[in-house]
Amino acid sequence: MRKIYILFLLLPFSLGFSQTYQFDFVTNYTSTSSKNKLAYDNVNYFNSDDFSYSLKIINHENELHGILGDRTNNLAHHFKVIKSKLNNEIQFQFLYEYSTNLNAINYDKDYRFEFVEKPNISGKEVVLKMYRTKKSKRPFLTQTLSLVTANKNLFPIYRLSVLHHFWSYNELIYPENYMVSKAIDKTGNQTCEINLKEYKNVDLQITLPKELKF
């Protein structure tokens, strides 16, 4: 994987400092649909010891933006991201712009999910099934997940990166130390393949200005 260097810049009006976030892991999941064959990157930064916050990089109209979601304080901090290269290495600069409220999704208390073990001689696979109620027999979401062993439980990385509608559903977690390396999502006649394209350890610290802009 190419090395990624990260710089964080505050706008001139920021005189004091308050909340600090530490990130030690970055991932890039790519999603490819059988319908249009287009691949989409999904880059996120995490603290592997604290998944209450994460940083997502978004490419919108050829401009990079960062959204730092703090699920403890229900805030989303928005950044302009400047990408550059130095000595053939990628660099990111994060410029704080503003903050918004982060509205958590209220899930029905009857929601349930299950992981079904799938025999596979080449590795560990499970099928994730999500049901809208405890009595539902037909899942509304089914994904086949390929797992790789990790030194801690890194399933939340996949949930927060890919399962966007369940980012605040903390109960959705595989109970062992694995990381999702691949997923196959089948909906009707369409298939979406999700692959863990890149991952690496990083040392990124972001400190917000004392006075946030809303």
Q: Give the residue ranges of the chain where pLDDT is below 70.
A: 1-17, 104-109, 120-121, 167
Q: Specify whether the backbone of 121 is left (phi greater than 0), alpha (psi in -120 to 50) or beta.
A: alpha
Q: Which residues of 157-172 are buried (b: 16+ CB within 10 A; e: fewer)?
A: bbbbbbbeebbbbeeb
Residue 4 token pair: 């990624």
Contact by Cβ (8 Å): 109, 133: no
Residue 81 token pair: 């991201």
Q: How far apart are CA 204 and CA 190, in angstroms?
A: 38
Q: How far apart are CA 56 and CA 96, in angstroms?
A: 14
pLDDT at 155: 97
Q: How far apart are CA 203 and CA 34, in angstroms?
A: 36
pLDDT at 3: 45
Q: What is the 3-state secondary structure (H, E, C) of 124-168?
A: EEEEEEEECCCCCCCCCEEEEEEEEECCCCCHHHHHHHCCHHHCC
Ranges of each domain in the chain:
4-28+41-103+200-209, 112-199
pLDDT at 178: 96
**Quick one: 17 exposed, middle or buried, by C-beta within 10 A (0-12, 13-18, 19+)?**
exposed
pLDDT at 121: 65
pLDDT at 5: 44
User: Closest Cα to residue 208, out of 57, 83, 26, 70?
Assistant: 70
